[in-house]
Structure 1
Amino acid sequence: MKIAAAQIKPVKGDILKNIENHKIVIEAAINKNVDLIIFPELSITGYEPELAEQLSIDYKDPILDVFQKMADENNISITVGMPTKFNNQLLISSIIFQPKKGREVYSKRHLFPTETAVFSKGDPFCQLEIVQNKISLAICYDLSDPMHSQEAYNSGSNIYTASVLNSVNGIDDDLAKLSNIAEKYHMHVLMANFTGESGGYECAGKSSVWNTNGSLLGQLNSDDEGILIVNTDNDRIEKIYIY
């Protein structure tokens, strides 16, 4: 199976511009026959908690239909980040598009302390089944709760993906945590992060993938947009930067 971590530089609050940028990155993944591409946390809006209420949508909003079309036409699964509204709750969500399937959503379960005044806690767990693999989705602070990755393992996941906003000051801790998850549970682990600036943070880039022993297989640089692709059948890595 080929999975790609997308590393992008978000445009603050500009949904349409960010959708266009996502399409460019997805096309690069399609050209490499990727099965699943993961974008960072709140990738469609940037990580902007103070704008999340006004930018939030229902996860089935037609503004994102383009991703279902790309999934259907190219046999690729896609997750994008978006603030969503459900039962008057504001959520940090990954919206999931799979070929010829209905749209799904996973909402962040473990909130960073500064997020609790703005967002509500989301779903308990999310697992995708793609090309005979079971993939668990995490959104940023989810990965800091050991119960999240343990539940992924207990549910039979062999791949763990994290959509994050990670700053230059916080990246090293999360890289260590994700490596430990890979080693402890013998899962491939993949992280997609922003570059540039978002939410007042200087984003660290360094989107990464680890093998089932917890060793780092590949990592993008700190500055450029691109995709990091891993073939989980043979641990081969491809890096593609988009300028």
Structure 2
Amino acid sequence: MKSCAVQLALSKGDVAANIAHHLHAIEQAAALGAELLVFPELSLTGYEPTLARQLAMPADSPQLVPLQAACDRFGVTAAVGLPMPTMAGVRIGMLVLRPRLAPLVYAKQRLHDDELDYFVPGSTSLVFAAGSHQVAPAICYESMFLEHAAHAQAQGADLYLVSVVKTEEGIRAGAAHYPQVARRLRMPVIMSNCVGPADIYVGAGQSAAWDAEGNLLACLGDTAPGLLLLDTATGTAQAWPLELGA
């Protein structure tokens, strides 16, 4: 199966612009043979905690219809990031859009301290089927704890799908941690990061994939959008440019 980490510059609070970029990415990744895509954390709104409450969207929001239609048309599954409203508060959500099936919902279970004023944690793990794999999503901070991936593996996961917004410092930490996850759990890891401004941070890109032995297979650059395709059947990965249109 080919999985794709989509690296984007996220437009602050501009859901329509971000959706348009998602649609370009879905079409181009599908043309390269991707069956599963992962986008950066809070990819539909940008990583903007102070705007999360006003931008929060439920899974059945009409704004998401074009994304579901694209997944149906191209036969791909796409894990997109968005703030999601709940009775307890806003969660850092991931919506897994599957072709001609109801979407799956996951929410970040372990929040960073500076997120606690804006978000509440999720409480439910998720492992879902995609192609020949059982896939476990992880969202940024929680993915830096081995027990998160180990719990997913115990639930049957054999591919770790990581969605982040990381600075240069965070990427350095991830580049040391994710190979250990892959090696210790014998589970490939694919990670999608953003580039450019995100709240008070700057996304450092360098989206990457590691095989089940912890070898870095490919990595994108630190400033430009791109697609990184991991082929788990061949144990290879390849970087591609991403054209976002006018």
TM over 0.5: yes
Aligned equivalents of 1:94 and 1:105: distance in 2?
Answer: 6
Q: In 2, are the aligned partners of 1:165 and 1:194 still within 8 Å (CA)? A: yes
Residues 216-231 of structure 1 correspond to what in structure 2 (within 5 A)?
216-231=216-231
Deviation at 1:132, TM superposition (A): 2.4
Residues 96-107 of structure 1 correspond to what in structure 2 (within 5 A)?
96-107=96-107
Name the SS of the counterpart of 2:105 in structure 1. Answer: strand
Q: In 2, are the aligned partners of 1:209 and 1:216 still within 8 Å (CA)? A: yes
**Matching residue of 1:51:** 51
Q: Which amino acid aligns with 2:209?
A: V
Deviation at 1:177, TM superposition (A): 1.2
**Matching residue of 1:5:** 5
Name the SS of the counterpart of 1:121 in structure 2. Answer: coil
**Matching residue of 1:178:** 178
Q: How many residues align?
A: 243
**Matching residue of 2:202:** 202
172-181 or 37-46, which moves further after superposition? Answer: 172-181
Q: Which amino acid aligns with 2:144?
A: S
Unaligned runs of 5+ in 2: none
- Please list every run of at least 4 consecutive aligned residues from structure 1 whose deviation after the TM superposition is greater than 3 angstroms: none
Q: In 1, are the aligned partners of 2:88 and 2:120 still within 8 Å (CA)? A: no
Aligned equivalents of 2:124 and 2:2: distance in 1?
Answer: 26
Q: Which amino acid aligns with 1:23?
A: L
Deviations 1:129-183 (A, max 9, x none): 0112100000001112222111111112110011000001221111211111001
Aligned equivalents of 1:236 and 1:171: distance in 2?
Answer: 21
Deviation at 1:235, TM superposition (A): 1.5
**Matching residue of 1:83:** 83
Deviations 1:38-95 (A, max 9, x none): 0000001110000001111112211101111111111100011000101141000011
Name the SS of the counterpart of 2:169 in structure 1. Answer: coil
Aligned equivalents of 1:20 and 1:198: distance in 2?
Answer: 18
| Percent pairwise identity | 31
Q: In 2, are the aligned partners of 1:110 and 1:145 still within 8 Å (CA)? A: no
**Matching residue of 1:19:** 19
Name the SS of the counterpart of 1:110 in structure 2. Answer: coil
**Matching residue of 2:126:** 126
Q: In 2, are the aligned partners of 1:143 and 1:177 still within 8 Å (CA)? A: no
| 1:153 is the counterpart of 2:153 | yes
Aligned equivalents of 1:132 and 1:3: distance in 2?
Answer: 11
Q: Which amino acid aligns with 1:166?
A: K
Name the SS of the counterpart of 2:71 in structure 1. Answer: helix
Q: In 1, are the aligned partners of 2:181 and 2:214 still within 8 Å (CA)? A: yes
Aligned equivalents of 2:53 and 2:107: distance in 1?
Answer: 15
Aligned equivalents of 2:102 and 2:190: distance in 1?
Answer: 24
Q: In 1, are the aligned partners of 2:9 and 2:194 still within 8 Å (CA)? A: yes
Aligned equivalents of 1:213 and 1:146: distance in 2?
Answer: 16
